[in-house]
């Protein structure tokens, strides 16, 4: 695809177009292959578990950065660059953890289990949130958090006031905090 087609795809993803979301998911497959490739290069490759964490971080960065995609390069090139930066960050963090390295695999497994537990807690809280929130409130969460739309833009799309959109957003945040504390 050309950068202009990629830009159109990203625009449609931000508008929660189902077809575009499926296409983006297919295109994100490049992240896993690219991370594995660049991880094999260099002097210190990350473990499989660490690389899986980096992949999740990179995909999260891609999704949260979609509003910043300008179409100056192909979507794959943009994703690869985010993967490179995320992997470099992970390697830097690993380099400043000499004490944990001295403890061996035991310390690494503890930190991996802690991260997995935190992700599982957040995932469970989001599932409970989606069950507790009215569909329109959950739509506001998706449009603002995932698609990066402003409250005003969401208000136009839903045909309600910007204040109403903000109220739905903050109501969702309060419920999310309650679910995370539970």
C-alpha angle 154-14-58 in degrees, rounded to nearest 5: 130
Name the pTM for this structure: 0.49
> Chain-centre distance of CA 46, in angstroms?
21
Domains (range + CATH), the chain: 1-96 (1.10.1740.10), 105-182 (1.10.10.10)
Q: What are the angstrom distances between the C-alpha of 120 and each of 5, 49, 87, 109?
A: 35, 16, 22, 16
Residues 41, 83 contacting (CB under 8 angstroms): no
Does 156 score more than 90 pLDDT? yes
Question: Model confidence over 66-86: pLDDT tens digits?
Answer: 888 888 888 888 888 888 888
C-alpha angle 102-105-111 in degrees, rounded to nearest 5: 95
Question: Model confidence over 93-133: pLDDT tens digits?
Answer: 776 444 444 445 444 444 555 566 666 666 666 667 777 77
The whole-number pLDDT of residue 103 equals 42
Rounded to a whole number, what is the distance in angstroms from the first to the last CA of the chain?
A: 45
Residues 151, 144 contacting (CB under 8 angstroms): yes
């Amino acid at each position: 695809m050309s950068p202009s087609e990629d830009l159109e795809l990203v625009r449609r993803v931000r508008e929660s177009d189902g077809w575009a979301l499926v296409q983006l998911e297919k295109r994100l497959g490049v992240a896993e292959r690219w991370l594995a490739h660049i991880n094999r290069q260099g002097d210190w490759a990350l473990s499989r578990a660490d690389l899986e964490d980096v992949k999740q971080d990179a995909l999260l960065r891609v999704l949260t950065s979609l509003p910043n995609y300008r179409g100056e390069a192909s979507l794959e090139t943009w994703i690869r660059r985010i993967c490179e930066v995320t992997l470099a960050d992970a390697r830097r963090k690993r380099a400043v953890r000499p004490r944990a390295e001295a403890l061996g695999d035991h310390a690494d497994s503890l930190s991996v289990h802690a991260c997995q537990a935190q992700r599982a807690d957040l995932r469970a809280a989001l599932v409970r949130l989606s069950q507790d929130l009215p569909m329109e409130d959950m739509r506001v969460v998706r449009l603002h958090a995932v698609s990066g739309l402003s409250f005003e833009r969401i208000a136009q799309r839903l045909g309600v006031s910007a204040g109403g959109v903000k109220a739905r957003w903050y109501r969702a945040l309060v419920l999310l905090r309650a679910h995370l504390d539970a």
